[in-house]
Amino acid sequence: MTQLLQRLVLPTETTTEPLLYARFTGTTRVVPGGAVLQDGSQVSFDTSFGVFAAGRWRRVTTVNSLAVRVRASGLGEAQVVAVTQGKEEIVASSPLPKGENSPVFIELLLPDLQSSEHGTYFVRVVAKGGEVCMTGGEWVSSDAATHDVKLSLSITTFNRQEYVRKTVHNVLALENELDVLRGRVRVFVVDNAQNVSFDAPASAPLQVVPNGNLGGAGGFARGLIELRKQGWATHVLFMDDDITLEPEALVRTMALFANARDPKLCVHGAMLSEERPWLQFEAGSEYSFRSIYPLQALGREDDLRDRSLAVADAPEIPFDYTAWWYTAFPISITSENPLPVFVRGDDVAFGLMHTGKHSITLNGVIVWHADFGLKNNPSSLFYESRNLALVDTLVFDKHHWWNLAYRFASFGFRNLFSMRYASTEYMLKGLKAYLAGPSEWMKIDHAALHDDLRKCAEEKPAPLSPELAAIEPRKPRHKALRAIGFLFALVLVGGYIIPRPLRLRGYGVGPIDARAVGVATLRNRILYRHDRIADGYVVERDTKRFFSLLGQVAKSIVSIAFSYGRLKRQYRAAYPEMVSTQAWEARFTAGMKR
């Protein structure tokens, strides 16, 4: 039986960035379902989504037999080009069938994958002497699959009907269309808002479960617990509700699982920017508990239109964790459930403890997501302050009180010196919640807490007035300049010892996802704005509030020093209960009664 590994996907007229899929040269036109090439023109798949990453497939799977089927006809030729350490050669070719009424498959055999040294393959179709019509293709193997895979998507949604309906529709259509997925993919939607509906037939492999608003953590915990009980799925895919999915990602994910060397293999989908669809936001992440900003994304700001990136045989980079906008893993990888943290950090802890070290990415396994700078606000800093402290406490034996104090003090001072007073207040609230200990954590009404946190009206991105929108955004400055600006702010106590008349008039400008410490030192107002859209907010200097919060930050550092050792023992002792199925089911019941 032939296995489908991945498909050759052509861009359509509505594709936002065609260069992620294919490159056209000469006179060509995209038509419904394919592309037409005139004499002398060509289409090549030396693109981020188009290449077959032979090196990665060889290293992480048992696939050996390999071929590509190109669906085309006309006066031309199909070629397979191998890229090995920067050198390119045609390793297979075939003339296209002439005079066909519609494109047909032609198969090109490749050397055995496991003994090959080729890094990357890509298909090229060239029109020679006349017109060529191409409608796609597929990479296949005649090897028997190593594992029997049944994948259930677990999607948590809360009032994101437009996004989630589109995603579910696309997944169900793909499952129905492809034999390799039919009967092997199901969709499980946990509806935290209890108001979503889908236009799908009763026979569709779709289940929707209403849930109390327990955040992403509660939704994914509900999905995982229910799927374990049902006993059908071998693998689970956690997916956010506010993403745009590349459906081909599911084809490649299933093929990786079916042929994985490591039975614990996990697959992570890279996230691309919705605003700039060629820009990569993250392809896995490292986590450094000693850093002020512990989450360190891999592949940040890679331009996936870059041919050199697409054809390179990049080695697998070890991950610490993968985000839940697209994380697929064997359901047997752990019997534990996510931490009860609502949002921010649930995927970090789960990755550090269970999935991260087994995770890989693959070209074409991606989602698009809105810019995270528009989602960050003081309430999100509450969760980060509280939840990442918990993650560090539970995961790292070598994490000490001074590591937490250093991060909290450094980030707190940066917020204060950049006039982000609300952010500082919510960081303090988050730390206070962590310092209260696990017994208080277990009593939290997460939905009520979240509703209360959302009442903060400060430092939230919103459409700017025409006057503010006319102010040009400022790009982040060089790291050395930012360091000088921070030292300058320290010497002048954030500018608070400078008499008001001596400060600069007008607005200082900072990136929406940064802390403009140096800029703020000599200003009374800062406009934090997005660099591509007219969204942002203004903060103003408040001396009384600054010194009050500065004192609270200092007191909190003392509290960390005196409490950390005890809290570490308590949280570790309480962890099995915090993530237990029994505790989660009690939360589900309580959440539905609200």
At 67 the pLDDT is: 98
421 CB-side CA count, 13 A = 20
Q: Which residue has the higher pLDDT, 477 or 386?
A: 386
Axis-axis angle for helices 581-592, 215-230 (nearest 10): 120
Edge-to-edge strand list for the sheet holding 462-463? 462-463, 535-540, 523-529, 504-511
For 401, counting Cβ atoms within 10 Å of its Cβ (0-12 exposed, 13-18 middle, 19+ buried), the class is middle
Residue 515 has pLDDT above 90, yes or no: no
3-class secondary structure, 36: strand
B/e letters for 182-203, b = 16+ CB within 10 Å, e = fewer, are: eebbbbbbbbbeeebebebeee
Sole residue written with tokens 């084809």:
251
Cα–Cα dist 217/232, whole Å: 22
Instruction: Calculate the CA 77 to chain-centre distance.
Output: 38
At 488 the pLDDT is: 76
Residues in the chain: 594
Which amino acid, 216? Answer: G
At 494 the pLDDT is: 81
Question: What's the mean pLDDT in 106-113?
Answer: 97
Residue 375 has pLDDT above 80, yes or no: no
Helices (H) and strands (E) in the chain, counts: 16, 26
Return the H-helix or E-strand segment holding 79: strand 67-84
pTM for this predicted structure:
0.93
Q: Where are the alpha helices (DSSP H) in 341-400?
A: 346-350, 378-395
Contact 327, 347 (CB under 8 A): yes
Cα–Cα dist 322/346, whole Å: 11
Edge-to-edge strand list for the sheet holding 270-273? 243-245, 366-369, 270-273, 280-282
Contact 511, 475 (CB under 8 A): yes
At 505 the pLDDT is: 85
- pLDDT tens string 290-301: 999 899 999 999
Band of the pLDDT at 504, cuts 50, 70, 90?
confident
Q: What are the residue ranges spanned by the domains of the chain?
A: 3-141, 151-373, 378-545
Residue 374 has pLDDT above 70, yes or no: no
Residue 321 has pLDDT above 80, yes or no: yes
At 195 the pLDDT is: 93
Residue 517 has pLDDT above 70, yes or no: yes
Q: Where are the alpha helices (DSSP H) in 443-542?
A: 446-453, 466-469, 479-491, 517-520
Contact 217, 343 (CB under 8 A): yes
Tokens standing for residue 423 = 């952010």
Q: Within 10 A of 458 (CB to CB), how many other CB atoms are there? A: 15
At 540 the pLDDT is: 95
Pairing mode of beta strands 285-287, 295-297? antiparallel
Q: Which of 264, 289, 288, 257 has its CA nearest to residue 355?
A: 264
Question: Which phi and psi (to 5°) does residue 360 adopt?
Answer: -135, 165
Percent of the chain with pLDDT over 90: 82
CA angle 134, 137, 143 (to 5 degrees): 160
- pLDDT tens string 157-185: 999 999 999 999 999 999 999 999 999 99
Sole residue written with tokens 């191409």:
134
Cα–Cα dist 564/13, whole Å: 57
Tokens standing for residue 87 = 């050198």
The DSSP call for residue 293 is S
Of the chain, the end-to-end C-alpha distance in Å amounts to 52
Band of the pLDDT at 499, cuts 50, 70, 90?
confident
- pLDDT tens string 523-555: 899 999 988 888 999 999 999 999 999 999 999
Q: Which residue has the higher pLDDT, 19 or 515?
A: 19
Cα–Cα dist 467/179, whole Å: 56
Give me the architecture of the 151-373 domain, per CATH: Alpha-Beta Complex (3.90)
Q: Which of 381, 486, 473 has its CA nearest to residue 426?
A: 381
3-class secondary structure, 266: strand
Sole residue written with tokens 């107002």:
525
3-class secondary structure, 76: strand
- pLDDT tens string 474-487: 776 677 776 777 78
Phi-psi region of 421 (alpha: psi -120 to 50; beta: other; left: phi over 0): alpha
Pairing mode of beta strands 327-330, 185-191? unpaired
Question: What's the mean pLDDT in 377-394?
Answer: 94
- pLDDT tens string 390-414: 999 999 999 999 999 999 999 998 9
Tokens standing for residue 208 = 């929707």
At 594 the pLDDT is: 64
Sole residue written with tokens 């991606």:
366
Q: 3-141 in CATH: which number?
A: 2.60.120.260
Q: Which of 459-468, 498-507, 516-525 has the highest mean pLDDT?
A: 459-468
User: Do the domains 3-141 and 151-373 sit in the same CATH topology, yes or no?
Assistant: no
